Structure 1
Amino acid sequence: MSKRYHDDRDYGPQSHKKPRHDERPSYPQDTSRPLRNDRNNYGDYHKPPPSHTEALAALPPPTQPLGPVPAYTPFTVAGHLPPLPDVHSSSLASASFRHKSTLTTYNRSANAHDVTYEKLEFYGDALLELLATRLLFARFPALTAGQQSQLRELLVKNETLADYARGYGFDQRVRVGDMDRMVEDAKERGNKGFNKVLGDVFEAYVAAVVLSDHEDGFAVAEKWMTALWAPKLVDAAAKERYLTPGLNILHDGPNQAKADMLGVYNPTAKAELQRRLLGGAGVKLEYEPYQKSLELKGDQLGQNRHFIAVYLTGYGYVRYVLGKGEGKNKVEAGNWAAVVAMHGGAKGFVDECEGKLGAVREAKRVAKEAKEAKEEGGAET
């Protein structure tokens, strides 16, 4: 599988493989409140999560053409979970939940003609990567490729798929030769082993939906997964895990996002602030960390959070704090600090300093023109 380690253990009674104890530790989910920029809408954290219907409606419309797919029956979204698409093949429907250890012809090298969830998940994994890529590419063109990759990993990782599998009751339908052993092994690994199984089963089911309907299967799977993923995308935006204009529009609305510039990431904010304030003698801007960076957990495991403040020296002040920002790297955090400086609590002060700089520049321009006029007049006489 793409970014998730592959579980090749056998759960059948014929297997003599010992449980592995060298797996990576299972990290607890981070339930603390996510870090945010200096905004005044902290009440968002107490809002209940949106339903799939609300979240699907909140997603931005597609902006990139992806090519036509075959027509299919209208799709409706339930409040709890989107309806589970049918698998139009009894053999594929059964194989989606069947481990190779349940086969009468079970052997260490699986029969090429036996279809199990292990084989189907190979295809389903690639399908989910493609579906998530199409969704992000079409609806979030403002995201960088790196940000799109981070969001895609959030959508297709084992924990996400295992949650969906439990929601649809897949955990009650899995058929494994030695279920007791699998459950015990899952306990030893902090339930990570069973999450891997459920993630594979979910991928296998997606593959079965597509393979069992050659005309409409892909379109059905795409609509289903778009509705299923919508709340997770909206949640990521609401908690500002991915600070970009495209995602802020999800909860602010297009007009509000334009008006509330404090909530819109500007990749050139530092350069803009510099143009507005620098030019006078002894005036300088300094960007420095105001606290140590943090390594994030949960959905953002492996990412870091950096904290940068921007200080102004000049206009009668020494190291005046204009704003503080947070970001996935120092550049992003610095730009957020500049955004806060220009549109946050120090906005009036920045405007005042810009006005002083403008007055100085205007005085210099007038003096220069007067000098040039004087020199021209002296040359004529």
Structure 2
Amino acid sequence: MSKRPFDANRRPGSGYQNQHHKRPKHDTRPRHSSRDSLTNDYRPPPPSINYKEAIDKLPSPTSTLSHIPAYTPFTVPAGLPPLPEILDPALGAAPFRHKSTTGHYSRSASTQTSSDVTYEKLEFLGDAQLEHIASRLLYTRFSHLTAGQQSQLRELLVKNETLAEYARAYGFEKQVQVGDLDGMIADTQAKPGNKGFNKVLGDVFEAYIAAVILSGGDEGFAIVEKWMLGLWAPKLLEAAGKDRTLIPLLQHSADDKNDSGPLAVYNPTAKAELQRLILGGKGVKLDYEPWQKSVELKGDMLGQNRHFIAVFLTGYGHEKLLLGKGEGRNKVEAGNWAAQDAMCGERKDLVEKCARELAAVKQRKKEEKEAEAAAGN
């Protein structure tokens, strides 16, 4: 195979392949490098789109949503919070009425032809409003939780089982109007948790929320938020009893010995603090290992896991000595609880003794360096 003769005047990169793709002189298109294609992927929409016209072509609003006020503190009665009233008579029965009772219902129809408002239509709005209210509550009162933890807690507040529980507390199951309600109840009673009817009651509860907000004007949202704060508070306290990471923002009395103190409040920096206290000497180390297999939780905590981590000390005359145990939703959380147990639990005195020994060693080294520096001068 013949090779191209060496040409001292040939520019680098001007081989046969590049010459084959050389742009003709008459080609006036803008040049684009491979870098351009990576950094300029975004292309603005074509100028032919008229956003104003697009908005004008949308269906006109058939109802006006209330103004959402800024967050304000609420007072809630000790007993079951009173049921807010639906001020608009046209919406009074709508949260309990299924479209099958309107007389215009067709199971095979793709759209709803009746102008009657039913709980299916209201539930669509109430579902979003309820999730918004729950998000505001968790964002303001449980800001120490991660976004993922807040999402899990929000799911506990807005799931069908929780809403069905509240619906029954107010007797909503006696007001539901469904074409074959008795048949629905009979078909679902045999199933665990009666999920079919729970779904109906959950939808009805969300529809009631939407009706209160729609008919309450600017105050509707605040009324519902105050109502739900009262309903959700016991549920949050119950969840905090099962998961200690929720405790830091709970209010405790001075006499509540069991739910206060360093072993009750989650410390996300406990592992780092334990490390600063006792690590530094020769051969000293801390090992975090599972002391029990992780388990998947059930009930209200379904979908979450529980991890079990123990911390062991090697050094200061000990070989893999158990310092503390902890459990949490992940290994990091469980490890922090284990470190807290080490610093505040049964091995507290040992950890403090090790910390004093390490501090003495550091002080001795510091004095030796100062003495050497003074001798050198």
Q: Normalised by the size of structure 2, how large is the TM-score? A: 0.76
Larger radius of gyration: 2
Partner of 1:327 in structure 2? 328
Deviations 1:197-246 (A, max 9, x none): 11001001111111112232111111111111111112222x14251453
Of 141, 152, 155, the residue aligned with 1:153 is 155
What is the number of equivalent residue pairs in this alignment?
Answer: 306
Once the two structures are aligned, what percentage of the paired residues are identical?
60
1:152 offset after TM fit, Å? 1.1
- Rounded to whole Å, the distance in 2 between the matches of 1:292 and 1:176 is 47
Partner of 2:178 in structure 1? 176
Conserved 8 A contact 1:257-1:264:
no
- Rounded to whole Å, the distance in 2 between the matches of 1:227 and 1:192 is 25
1:188 offset after TM fit, Å? 4.2
Partner of 2:165 in structure 1? 163
- Rounded to whole Å, the distance in 2 between the matches of 1:201 and 1:361 is 67
Deviations 1:327-361 (A, max 9, x none): 00001100111111111111111111000111111
Partner of 2:294 in structure 1? 293
Task: Find the residue that maps to 2:319 and give its secondary structure.
Answer: strand
Deviations 1:247-299 (A, max 9, x none): 4x334669989971222212121111111111111111000000000100011
1:187 offset after TM fit, Å? 2.3
- Rounded to whole Å, the distance in 2 between the matches of 1:132 and 1:253 is 29
Conserved 8 A contact 1:210-1:221:
yes
Partner of 1:85 in structure 2? 84
Deviations 1:162-205 (A, max 9, x none): 00001100111111111222012212432011110110010011
Structure 1 alignment gaps of length 5 or more: 1-65, 377-381
Task: Find the residue that maps to 1:114 and give its secondary structure.
Answer: coil
Q: Equivalent residues in 2 for 1:211-226 (5 A)?
A: 211-226=214-229
Partner of 1:97 in structure 2? 96
Conserved 8 A contact 1:142-1:245:
no
Amino acid at match of 1:200: D
- Rounded to whole Å, the distance in 2 between the matches of 1:254 and 1:127 is 38
Conserved 8 A contact 1:70-1:215:
no
Instruction: Give the 3 Å change call, closer, same or farther, for CA 76–149 of structure 1 in structure 2.
Output: closer
4+ runs deviating over 6 angstroms: 253-259
Partner of 1:125 in structure 2? 127
Deviations 1:73-124 (A, max 9, x none): x975252x11101111233121111111111111133225221111111111
- Rounded to whole Å, the distance in 1 between the matches of 2:170 and 2:231 is 12
- Rounded to whole Å, the distance in 2 between the matches of 1:180 and 1:242 is 43
Q: Equivalent residues in 2 for 1:13-52 (5 A)?
A: none
Instruction: Give the 3 Å change call, closer, same or farther, for CA 93–258 of structure 1 in structure 2.
Output: closer
Partner of 2:49 in structure 1? none
Partner of 2:142 in structure 1? 140
Which deviates more, 355-364 or 306-315? 355-364
Instruction: Give the 3 Å change call, closer, same or farther, for CA 70–252 of structure 1 in structure 2.
Output: closer
Partner of 2:205 in structure 1? 202
Higher RCO, 1 or 2 (CA under 8 Å, sep at least 6)?
A: 1
- Rounded to whole Å, the distance in 2 between the matches of 1:129 and 1:148 is 12
Partner of 1:351 in structure 2? 352
Instruction: Give the 3 Å change call, closer, same or farther, for CA 244–175 of structure 1 in structure 2.
Output: closer
